[in-house]
Amino acid sequence: MLSLLRTLVVFFVSLVSIAYAVHTVEIQGQDFVDSKTNKRLMIIGVDYQPGGQAGYKPQTGQDPLTNGTVCLRDAALLQRLGVNTIRVYNIDPAANHDECASIFNAVGIYMILDVNSPLAGESLDRSDPSGSYNVNYLTRTFGIVEAFKNYPNTLAFFAANEVMNDIPSSKDNPPYIRAIQRDLKNYIAAQASRTIPVGYSAADVRPILNDTYNYFQCNIDGKTDLSRSDFIGLNSYSWCGAAATFQTAGYNDLVSMFQNSSLPVFFSEYGCNKPLGTPRVFNEVAALYGTQMTALSGGLVYEYSQEEADYGLVNINDNTTVTLKKDYDNLQSQYNKLDLTLLQSANATATNAKAPECSSGLISDSGFSQSFKIPSPPDGVDDLIKNGIKNPNNGKLVDVKETAVPMAIYGSNGNEISGLAIKILGNDDSNLPGGETTSANATSTGAAPSASTTKKGAAGKLSAATGGLLAVALTCLLML
Protein backbone atom coordinates (compact mmCIF):
# COMPACT_ATOMS: atom_id res chain seq x y z
CA MET A 1 0.00 0.00 0.00
CA LEU A 2 2.78 2.41 0.92
CA SER A 3 4.54 1.67 -2.36
CA LEU A 4 1.35 2.29 -4.34
CA LEU A 5 0.67 5.61 -2.65
CA ARG A 6 4.22 6.75 -3.16
CA THR A 7 3.91 5.84 -6.82
CA LEU A 8 0.72 7.89 -7.08
CA VAL A 9 2.37 10.86 -5.40
CA VAL A 10 5.36 10.71 -7.75
CA PHE A 11 3.00 10.47 -10.73
CA PHE A 12 0.90 13.47 -9.78
CA VAL A 13 3.89 15.57 -8.79
CA SER A 14 5.44 14.79 -12.17
CA LEU A 15 2.43 16.40 -13.83
CA VAL A 16 3.58 19.73 -12.46
CA SER A 17 6.51 19.90 -14.86
CA ILE A 18 5.21 18.10 -17.94
CA ALA A 19 5.36 20.25 -21.09
CA TYR A 20 2.24 19.25 -22.98
CA ALA A 21 2.73 19.28 -26.72
CA VAL A 22 0.50 21.09 -29.20
CA HIS A 23 -0.69 19.03 -32.12
CA THR A 24 1.41 19.22 -35.25
CA VAL A 25 -0.14 21.03 -38.21
CA GLU A 26 -0.63 19.87 -41.78
CA ILE A 27 -1.64 21.65 -44.98
CA GLN A 28 -4.83 20.77 -46.82
CA GLY A 29 -5.43 22.95 -49.87
CA GLN A 30 -5.51 26.57 -48.72
CA ASP A 31 -5.81 25.74 -45.00
CA PHE A 32 -3.48 24.90 -42.12
CA VAL A 33 -5.19 22.02 -40.31
CA ASP A 34 -4.66 20.44 -36.88
CA SER A 35 -3.34 16.94 -37.60
CA LYS A 36 -5.45 15.38 -34.83
CA THR A 37 -8.71 17.34 -34.68
CA ASN A 38 -8.88 18.38 -38.36
CA LYS A 39 -9.89 21.86 -37.23
CA ARG A 40 -8.50 24.75 -39.23
CA LEU A 41 -5.62 26.64 -37.66
CA MET A 42 -6.08 30.33 -38.34
CA ILE A 43 -2.83 32.14 -37.56
CA ILE A 44 -3.36 34.71 -34.81
CA GLY A 45 0.20 35.84 -34.47
CA VAL A 46 2.94 38.33 -33.71
CA ASP A 47 6.41 38.73 -35.20
CA TYR A 48 8.89 38.13 -32.38
CA GLN A 49 12.44 39.49 -32.50
CA PRO A 50 13.38 41.25 -29.23
CA GLY A 51 16.36 43.48 -29.91
CA GLY A 52 15.73 43.47 -33.66
CA GLN A 53 18.64 42.33 -35.82
CA ALA A 54 21.00 43.22 -32.96
CA GLY A 55 19.38 40.48 -30.89
CA TYR A 56 21.03 37.90 -33.14
CA LYS A 57 24.58 37.29 -31.89
CA PRO A 58 25.84 33.90 -33.11
CA GLN A 59 29.33 34.70 -31.85
CA THR A 60 27.95 34.45 -28.30
CA GLY A 61 25.16 31.96 -29.02
CA GLN A 62 22.34 34.48 -28.61
CA ASP A 63 19.12 34.79 -30.56
CA PRO A 64 15.49 35.49 -29.62
CA LEU A 65 14.94 31.91 -28.41
CA THR A 66 17.98 31.26 -26.21
CA ASN A 67 17.02 32.95 -22.92
CA GLY A 68 14.38 30.95 -21.07
CA THR A 69 13.60 33.69 -18.54
CA VAL A 70 12.95 36.20 -21.31
CA CYS A 71 10.81 33.69 -23.21
CA LEU A 72 8.81 32.98 -20.04
CA ARG A 73 8.13 36.70 -19.64
CA ASP A 74 7.12 37.17 -23.26
CA ALA A 75 5.13 33.93 -23.52
CA ALA A 76 2.98 35.06 -20.57
CA LEU A 77 2.19 38.36 -22.31
CA LEU A 78 1.64 36.78 -25.73
CA GLN A 79 -0.61 34.12 -24.23
CA ARG A 80 -2.75 36.79 -22.56
CA LEU A 81 -2.80 38.74 -25.81
CA GLY A 82 -4.46 35.74 -27.48
CA VAL A 83 -1.67 34.73 -29.84
CA ASN A 84 -1.26 31.19 -31.19
CA THR A 85 1.79 31.75 -33.45
CA ILE A 86 5.04 33.71 -33.46
CA ARG A 87 7.46 34.32 -36.30
CA VAL A 88 11.16 34.38 -35.42
CA TYR A 89 13.54 35.84 -38.00
CA ASN A 90 17.17 35.29 -37.01
CA ILE A 91 18.15 31.97 -35.46
CA ASP A 92 21.52 30.50 -34.50
CA PRO A 93 21.44 26.82 -35.54
CA ALA A 94 24.16 25.96 -33.00
CA ALA A 95 22.38 27.46 -29.96
CA ASN A 96 20.15 25.66 -27.44
CA HIS A 97 16.49 26.58 -27.89
CA ASP A 98 14.93 23.81 -25.80
CA GLU A 99 13.70 25.94 -22.92
CA CYS A 100 12.15 28.67 -25.05
CA ALA A 101 10.58 26.27 -27.55
CA SER A 102 9.14 24.22 -24.69
CA ILE A 103 7.70 27.29 -22.97
CA PHE A 104 5.96 28.46 -26.12
CA ASN A 105 4.77 24.92 -26.77
CA ALA A 106 3.37 24.64 -23.24
CA VAL A 107 1.28 27.79 -23.65
CA GLY A 108 -0.06 26.68 -27.03
CA ILE A 109 2.00 28.91 -29.32
CA TYR A 110 3.43 27.69 -32.64
CA MET A 111 6.65 28.96 -34.22
CA ILE A 112 7.31 29.91 -37.85
CA LEU A 113 11.05 30.23 -38.35
CA ASP A 114 13.14 32.00 -40.97
CA VAL A 115 16.15 29.94 -42.05
CA ASN A 116 18.07 33.06 -43.10
CA SER A 117 19.77 35.92 -41.28
CA PRO A 118 21.09 39.39 -42.26
CA LEU A 119 24.74 38.30 -41.90
CA ALA A 120 26.84 37.73 -45.01
CA GLY A 121 26.49 34.27 -46.49
CA GLU A 122 23.38 33.45 -44.44
CA SER A 123 20.73 34.36 -47.01
CA LEU A 124 20.11 34.44 -50.74
CA ASP A 125 21.65 37.62 -52.17
CA ARG A 126 19.10 39.13 -54.57
CA SER A 127 21.94 40.77 -56.53
CA ASP A 128 23.80 37.47 -56.91
CA PRO A 129 21.45 34.51 -56.47
CA SER A 130 23.66 32.01 -58.30
CA GLY A 131 26.74 32.93 -56.25
CA SER A 132 24.98 32.94 -52.86
CA TYR A 133 23.16 29.66 -53.50
CA ASN A 134 25.97 27.37 -52.33
CA VAL A 135 26.69 24.39 -50.09
CA ASN A 136 27.81 26.48 -47.10
CA TYR A 137 24.61 28.51 -47.15
CA LEU A 138 22.44 25.40 -47.44
CA THR A 139 24.35 23.65 -44.66
CA ARG A 140 23.34 26.46 -42.34
CA THR A 141 19.68 26.31 -43.40
CA PHE A 142 19.69 22.55 -42.79
CA GLY A 143 21.10 23.31 -39.34
CA ILE A 144 17.98 25.37 -38.58
CA VAL A 145 15.86 22.38 -39.56
CA GLU A 146 17.88 20.10 -37.27
CA ALA A 147 17.54 22.52 -34.37
CA PHE A 148 13.74 22.81 -34.64
CA LYS A 149 12.44 19.67 -36.36
CA ASN A 150 11.68 17.81 -33.11
CA TYR A 151 9.53 20.53 -31.53
CA PRO A 152 5.86 19.80 -32.24
CA ASN A 153 5.10 23.53 -32.20
CA THR A 154 7.42 24.15 -35.14
CA LEU A 155 4.72 25.11 -37.61
CA ALA A 156 6.79 25.99 -40.68
CA PHE A 157 9.98 27.42 -42.16
CA PHE A 158 10.39 30.48 -44.36
CA ALA A 159 12.93 29.71 -47.09
CA ALA A 160 13.29 33.39 -47.97
CA ASN A 161 11.93 36.81 -47.09
CA GLU A 162 11.30 39.69 -49.51
CA VAL A 163 14.06 38.67 -51.90
CA MET A 164 12.02 40.32 -54.64
CA ASN A 165 10.96 43.89 -53.93
CA ASP A 166 10.59 45.26 -57.47
CA ILE A 167 10.38 44.09 -61.07
CA PRO A 168 14.16 43.96 -61.72
CA SER A 169 14.76 41.69 -58.72
CA SER A 170 12.04 39.33 -59.95
CA LYS A 171 13.92 38.40 -63.11
CA ASP A 172 16.57 35.97 -61.81
CA ASN A 173 15.64 35.18 -58.20
CA PRO A 174 12.41 33.12 -58.42
CA PRO A 175 14.01 29.85 -59.63
CA TYR A 176 16.58 30.01 -56.83
CA ILE A 177 13.93 30.51 -54.17
CA ARG A 178 12.13 27.44 -55.49
CA ALA A 179 15.46 25.58 -55.41
CA ILE A 180 15.95 26.42 -51.71
CA GLN A 181 12.41 25.27 -50.96
CA ARG A 182 13.08 21.99 -52.76
CA ASP A 183 16.35 21.42 -50.90
CA LEU A 184 14.79 22.16 -47.51
CA LYS A 185 11.84 19.86 -48.16
CA ASN A 186 14.12 17.09 -49.38
CA TYR A 187 16.22 17.46 -46.23
CA ILE A 188 13.13 17.39 -44.00
CA ALA A 189 11.83 14.29 -45.80
CA ALA A 190 15.16 12.50 -45.29
CA GLN A 191 16.10 13.68 -41.80
CA ALA A 192 12.88 14.55 -39.91
CA SER A 193 10.15 12.29 -38.55
CA ARG A 194 7.33 14.42 -39.97
CA THR A 195 6.58 16.81 -42.78
CA ILE A 196 7.15 20.47 -41.92
CA PRO A 197 5.84 23.06 -44.41
CA VAL A 198 8.25 25.38 -46.23
CA GLY A 199 7.23 28.62 -47.92
CA TYR A 200 8.11 32.15 -49.00
CA SER A 201 7.45 35.52 -47.34
CA ALA A 202 6.71 38.09 -50.06
CA ALA A 203 6.66 41.86 -50.01
CA ASP A 204 3.27 43.34 -50.85
CA VAL A 205 4.54 44.97 -54.02
CA ARG A 206 1.38 45.00 -56.12
CA PRO A 207 3.07 45.17 -59.58
CA ILE A 208 4.69 41.76 -58.96
CA LEU A 209 2.45 40.24 -56.28
CA ASN A 210 0.14 38.23 -58.52
CA ASP A 211 3.08 36.92 -60.57
CA THR A 212 4.92 36.00 -57.35
CA TYR A 213 1.87 34.10 -56.11
CA ASN A 214 1.34 32.28 -59.41
CA TYR A 215 5.02 31.41 -59.78
CA PHE A 216 5.32 29.80 -56.36
CA GLN A 217 1.96 28.03 -56.15
CA CYS A 218 2.11 26.17 -59.46
CA ASN A 219 3.32 22.62 -60.07
CA ILE A 220 6.00 22.10 -62.71
CA ASP A 221 4.81 19.68 -65.43
CA GLY A 222 1.54 19.38 -63.52
CA LYS A 223 3.17 17.19 -60.92
CA THR A 224 3.54 17.66 -57.19
CA ASP A 225 7.10 18.95 -57.16
CA LEU A 226 8.98 19.85 -54.00
CA SER A 227 10.15 23.22 -55.29
CA ARG A 228 6.59 24.55 -54.99
CA SER A 229 5.78 26.69 -51.95
CA ASP A 230 3.68 24.98 -49.31
CA PHE A 231 2.34 28.41 -48.31
CA ILE A 232 2.92 32.10 -49.00
CA GLY A 233 3.29 34.83 -46.43
CA LEU A 234 2.56 38.43 -47.36
CA ASN A 235 4.19 41.41 -45.64
CA SER A 236 1.35 43.88 -46.05
CA TYR A 237 1.06 47.39 -44.61
CA SER A 238 -1.71 48.80 -46.79
CA TRP A 239 -4.30 49.33 -44.00
CA CYS A 240 -3.18 52.57 -42.36
CA GLY A 241 -5.09 54.43 -39.67
CA ALA A 242 -8.57 54.26 -38.20
CA ALA A 243 -10.17 55.68 -41.34
CA ALA A 244 -8.91 52.88 -43.62
CA THR A 245 -11.46 50.46 -45.04
CA PHE A 246 -11.59 47.08 -46.74
CA GLN A 247 -11.60 48.86 -50.10
CA THR A 248 -9.14 51.70 -49.49
CA ALA A 249 -6.58 49.24 -48.08
CA GLY A 250 -6.94 47.04 -51.15
CA TYR A 251 -8.03 44.02 -49.13
CA ASN A 252 -10.77 43.43 -51.69
CA ASP A 253 -8.07 43.00 -54.33
CA LEU A 254 -6.21 40.50 -52.15
CA VAL A 255 -9.40 38.47 -51.68
CA SER A 256 -9.95 38.39 -55.43
CA MET A 257 -6.35 37.28 -55.97
CA PHE A 258 -6.30 34.52 -53.34
CA GLN A 259 -9.94 33.39 -53.25
CA ASN A 260 -9.25 30.13 -55.10
CA SER A 261 -5.73 29.60 -53.83
CA SER A 262 -4.34 26.07 -53.76
CA LEU A 263 -2.12 26.87 -50.77
CA PRO A 264 -2.44 28.85 -47.53
CA VAL A 265 -1.83 32.59 -47.79
CA PHE A 266 -1.47 34.74 -44.68
CA PHE A 267 0.00 38.05 -43.60
CA SER A 268 3.54 37.30 -42.43
CA GLU A 269 3.74 40.94 -41.35
CA TYR A 270 0.99 43.54 -40.98
CA GLY A 271 0.10 46.56 -38.87
CA CYS A 272 0.83 49.91 -40.53
CA ASN A 273 2.18 52.43 -37.99
CA LYS A 274 1.00 55.57 -39.76
CA PRO A 275 0.20 58.18 -38.66
CA LEU A 276 3.41 58.01 -36.64
CA GLY A 277 3.30 58.72 -32.95
CA THR A 278 -0.24 57.45 -32.41
CA PRO A 279 -1.26 54.02 -31.12
CA ARG A 280 -2.42 51.60 -33.78
CA VAL A 281 -6.11 50.73 -33.48
CA PHE A 282 -5.85 47.47 -35.46
CA ASN A 283 -9.33 47.72 -36.93
CA GLU A 284 -8.05 45.63 -39.86
CA VAL A 285 -8.22 42.61 -37.53
CA ALA A 286 -12.01 42.48 -37.89
CA ALA A 287 -11.63 42.36 -41.67
CA LEU A 288 -8.76 39.87 -41.76
CA TYR A 289 -10.58 37.36 -39.57
CA GLY A 290 -14.08 38.13 -40.83
CA THR A 291 -16.32 36.39 -43.33
CA GLN A 292 -14.95 38.33 -46.31
CA MET A 293 -11.39 37.04 -45.90
CA THR A 294 -11.77 33.38 -44.95
CA ALA A 295 -9.64 32.49 -47.99
CA LEU A 296 -6.65 33.87 -46.08
CA SER A 297 -5.20 32.10 -43.04
CA GLY A 298 -4.81 35.04 -40.66
CA GLY A 299 -1.63 36.93 -39.98
CA LEU A 300 1.24 38.04 -37.77
CA VAL A 301 1.35 41.58 -36.40
CA TYR A 302 4.67 43.38 -36.72
CA GLU A 303 6.02 43.35 -34.04
CA TYR A 304 6.23 42.34 -30.37
CA SER A 305 8.92 44.66 -29.01
CA GLN A 306 9.49 48.33 -29.69
CA GLU A 307 12.53 48.76 -31.93
CA GLU A 308 13.86 51.61 -34.07
CA ALA A 309 11.12 51.20 -36.69
CA ASP A 310 8.41 52.03 -34.11
CA TYR A 311 6.13 49.01 -34.52
CA GLY A 312 6.24 47.58 -30.99
CA LEU A 313 3.38 46.30 -28.87
CA VAL A 314 5.53 46.51 -25.74
CA ASN A 315 8.58 48.39 -24.50
CA ILE A 316 11.36 46.19 -23.11
CA ASN A 317 13.13 48.26 -20.48
CA ASP A 318 16.88 48.16 -19.78
CA ASN A 319 16.34 46.13 -16.58
CA THR A 320 14.33 43.46 -18.51
CA THR A 321 11.00 44.69 -17.15
CA VAL A 322 8.29 45.32 -19.74
CA THR A 323 5.75 48.10 -20.18
CA LEU A 324 2.75 47.45 -22.40
CA LYS A 325 1.94 50.03 -25.04
CA LYS A 326 -1.57 51.10 -25.93
CA ASP A 327 -1.04 49.17 -29.17
CA TYR A 328 -1.02 45.94 -27.10
CA ASP A 329 -4.33 46.89 -25.45
CA ASN A 330 -5.95 47.77 -28.77
CA LEU A 331 -4.82 44.54 -30.45
CA GLN A 332 -6.00 42.47 -27.48
CA SER A 333 -9.39 44.18 -27.65
CA GLN A 334 -9.69 43.36 -31.36
CA TYR A 335 -8.68 39.72 -30.83
CA ASN A 336 -11.31 39.36 -28.10
CA LYS A 337 -14.04 40.15 -30.63
CA LEU A 338 -13.14 37.32 -33.02
CA ASP A 339 -15.58 34.54 -33.89
CA LEU A 340 -13.48 31.52 -32.92
CA THR A 341 -15.98 29.05 -34.38
CA LEU A 342 -15.65 30.71 -37.79
CA LEU A 343 -11.85 30.70 -37.55
CA GLN A 344 -11.63 26.97 -36.83
CA SER A 345 -14.06 25.90 -39.55
CA ALA A 346 -12.46 24.22 -42.54
CA ASN A 347 -14.05 24.53 -45.98
CA ALA A 348 -14.12 21.29 -47.99
CA THR A 349 -13.70 23.18 -51.25
CA ALA A 350 -10.72 25.09 -49.89
CA THR A 351 -9.00 22.03 -48.46
CA ASN A 352 -9.32 20.18 -51.78
CA ALA A 353 -8.01 23.02 -53.97
CA LYS A 354 -5.51 21.85 -56.59
CA ALA A 355 -2.43 23.71 -57.84
CA PRO A 356 -2.28 24.86 -61.46
CA GLU A 357 0.40 23.63 -63.84
CA CYS A 358 3.31 26.02 -64.27
CA SER A 359 3.42 27.89 -67.56
CA SER A 360 4.55 31.25 -68.87
CA GLY A 361 0.88 32.14 -69.25
CA LEU A 362 0.60 32.49 -65.47
CA ILE A 363 3.04 35.41 -65.51
CA SER A 364 1.75 38.78 -66.67
CA ASP A 365 4.83 41.05 -66.43
CA SER A 366 7.55 40.50 -69.02
CA GLY A 367 10.19 41.46 -66.46
CA PHE A 368 9.22 38.65 -64.09
CA SER A 369 10.92 35.27 -64.52
CA GLN A 370 9.04 32.89 -66.76
CA SER A 371 11.61 30.15 -66.36
CA PHE A 372 10.60 27.08 -64.41
CA LYS A 373 13.98 25.41 -64.88
CA ILE A 374 15.04 25.10 -61.24
CA PRO A 375 18.81 25.10 -60.51
CA SER A 376 20.30 21.77 -59.47
CA PRO A 377 21.62 21.50 -55.90
CA PRO A 378 25.25 22.64 -55.53
CA ASP A 379 27.93 19.96 -55.23
CA GLY A 380 27.78 18.21 -51.88
CA VAL A 381 24.16 19.07 -51.07
CA ASP A 382 22.73 15.72 -52.14
CA ASP A 383 25.13 14.03 -49.72
CA LEU A 384 24.01 16.36 -46.91
CA ILE A 385 20.39 15.50 -47.64
CA LYS A 386 21.07 11.77 -47.68
CA ASN A 387 23.34 11.57 -44.63
CA GLY A 388 22.50 14.70 -42.69
CA ILE A 389 24.84 17.54 -41.71
CA LYS A 390 27.74 16.82 -39.38
CA ASN A 391 27.17 17.20 -35.65
CA PRO A 392 23.57 18.43 -35.84
CA ASN A 393 22.17 20.36 -32.89
CA ASN A 394 18.90 18.54 -32.31
CA GLY A 395 16.40 20.32 -30.13
CA LYS A 396 13.95 18.52 -27.84
CA LEU A 397 11.12 19.45 -25.51
CA VAL A 398 12.05 19.80 -21.85
CA ASP A 399 9.91 20.08 -18.75
CA VAL A 400 8.60 23.55 -18.01
CA LYS A 401 8.99 23.92 -14.27
CA GLU A 402 8.68 27.67 -13.75
CA THR A 403 5.49 29.53 -14.53
CA ALA A 404 5.71 32.85 -12.66
CA VAL A 405 7.27 35.82 -14.46
CA PRO A 406 10.16 36.97 -12.22
CA MET A 407 10.46 40.56 -13.42
CA ALA A 408 7.99 43.43 -13.12
CA ILE A 409 5.47 43.98 -15.91
CA TYR A 410 3.62 47.27 -16.24
CA GLY A 411 0.37 48.00 -18.02
CA SER A 412 -0.02 50.86 -20.45
CA ASN A 413 -1.40 52.88 -17.52
CA GLY A 414 2.00 52.63 -15.79
CA ASN A 415 0.79 50.41 -12.98
CA GLU A 416 2.28 47.02 -12.26
CA ILE A 417 0.54 43.79 -13.21
CA SER A 418 0.78 41.44 -10.27
CA GLY A 419 0.77 37.65 -10.41
CA LEU A 420 1.69 37.35 -14.08
CA ALA A 421 2.43 33.76 -15.07
CA ILE A 422 2.07 31.43 -17.99
CA LYS A 423 -0.82 29.01 -18.01
CA ILE A 424 0.25 25.60 -19.27
CA LEU A 425 -2.46 24.21 -21.50
CA GLY A 426 -3.58 20.60 -21.26
CA ASN A 427 -5.22 18.41 -23.91
CA ASP A 428 -2.66 19.49 -26.50
CA ASP A 429 -4.47 22.80 -26.99
CA SER A 430 -3.26 25.78 -28.98
CA ASN A 431 -3.78 29.22 -27.51
CA LEU A 432 -6.73 31.44 -28.41
CA PRO A 433 -8.02 34.86 -27.38
CA GLY A 434 -9.65 34.50 -23.99
CA GLY A 435 -11.18 37.86 -23.17
CA GLU A 436 -8.16 39.14 -21.24
CA THR A 437 -7.71 42.85 -20.54
CA THR A 438 -4.14 42.80 -19.29
CA SER A 439 -3.50 46.51 -18.76
CA ALA A 440 -6.87 46.93 -17.04
CA ASN A 441 -5.65 44.48 -14.40
CA ALA A 442 -2.56 46.60 -13.70
CA THR A 443 -3.43 48.24 -10.39
CA SER A 444 -0.49 47.51 -8.11
CA THR A 445 2.33 50.02 -7.73
CA GLY A 446 4.54 47.90 -5.47
CA ALA A 447 7.64 45.87 -6.18
CA ALA A 448 7.58 42.93 -8.54
CA PRO A 449 6.10 39.81 -6.88
CA SER A 450 8.55 37.05 -6.08
CA ALA A 451 8.35 33.78 -7.96
CA SER A 452 7.64 31.87 -4.77
CA THR A 453 4.50 33.85 -3.96
CA THR A 454 3.23 34.21 -7.50
CA LYS A 455 3.63 30.59 -8.46
CA LYS A 456 1.02 29.24 -6.05
CA GLY A 457 -2.01 30.95 -7.46
CA ALA A 458 -1.08 31.26 -11.11
CA ALA A 459 0.38 27.93 -12.12
CA GLY A 460 -2.36 26.93 -14.52
CA LYS A 461 -0.66 23.54 -14.76
CA LEU A 462 -3.11 21.31 -12.94
CA SER A 463 -6.82 20.96 -13.35
CA ALA A 464 -8.90 21.16 -10.17
CA ALA A 465 -9.43 17.41 -10.31
CA THR A 466 -5.74 16.68 -10.67
CA GLY A 467 -4.88 19.07 -7.86
CA GLY A 468 -7.45 17.40 -5.64
CA LEU A 469 -6.08 13.94 -6.35
CA LEU A 470 -2.58 15.17 -5.59
CA ALA A 471 -3.75 16.54 -2.25
CA VAL A 472 -5.46 13.25 -1.40
CA ALA A 473 -2.37 11.25 -2.31
CA LEU A 474 -0.12 13.48 -0.22
CA THR A 475 -2.49 13.29 2.75
CA CYS A 476 -2.66 9.52 2.57
CA LEU A 477 1.11 9.26 2.43
CA LEU A 478 1.52 11.48 5.50
CA MET A 479 -0.99 9.33 7.44
CA LEU A 480 1.14 6.21 6.95
The full set of domains in the chain, from first to last, is 25-387 (3.20.20.80)
Band (pLDDT 50/70/90 cuts) for residue 447 is: very low
Are residues 328 and 439 in contact, defined by beta-carbon separation less than 8 angstroms? yes
Active-site choice (269, 303, 307, 416): 269
Q: Is 122 a catalytic residue?
A: no
pLDDT tens-digit profile of 64-119? 999 999 999 999 999 999 999 999 999 999 999 999 999 999 999 999 999 999 99
The span from the CA of 319 to the CA of 472, in Å, is 42
Q: Which amino acid is at 109?
A: I
Task: Indicate the average pLDDT of the chain.
Answer: 89
The span from the CA of 199 to the CA of 216, in Å, is 9
Region 214-227: mean pLDDT is 91
pLDDT of residue 11: 43
pLDDT of residue 159: 98
Question: Closest Cα to residue 230, out of 69, 452, 475, 28?
Answer: 28
Report the percentage of the chain scoring pLDDT > 90.
82
Q: Is 308 a catalytic residue?
A: no
Active-site choice (162, 357, 402, 436): 162
pLDDT of residue 444: 59
pLDDT tens-digit profile of 457-476? 233 333 333 344 344 343 44
**379: CB partners within 8 A, 6+ apart:** 135
pLDDT of residue 183: 98
Torsion angle in degrees (nearest 10) through CA of 215, 269, 35, 139: 70
The span from the CA of 480 to the CA of 477, in Å, is 5
pLDDT tens-digit profile of 364-418? 999 999 999 999 999 999 999 999 999 999 999 999 999 999 999 999 999 999 9
pLDDT of residue 221: 85
pLDDT of residue 445: 57
pLDDT tens-digit profile of 273-290? 999 889 999 999 999 999
pLDDT of residue 457: 28
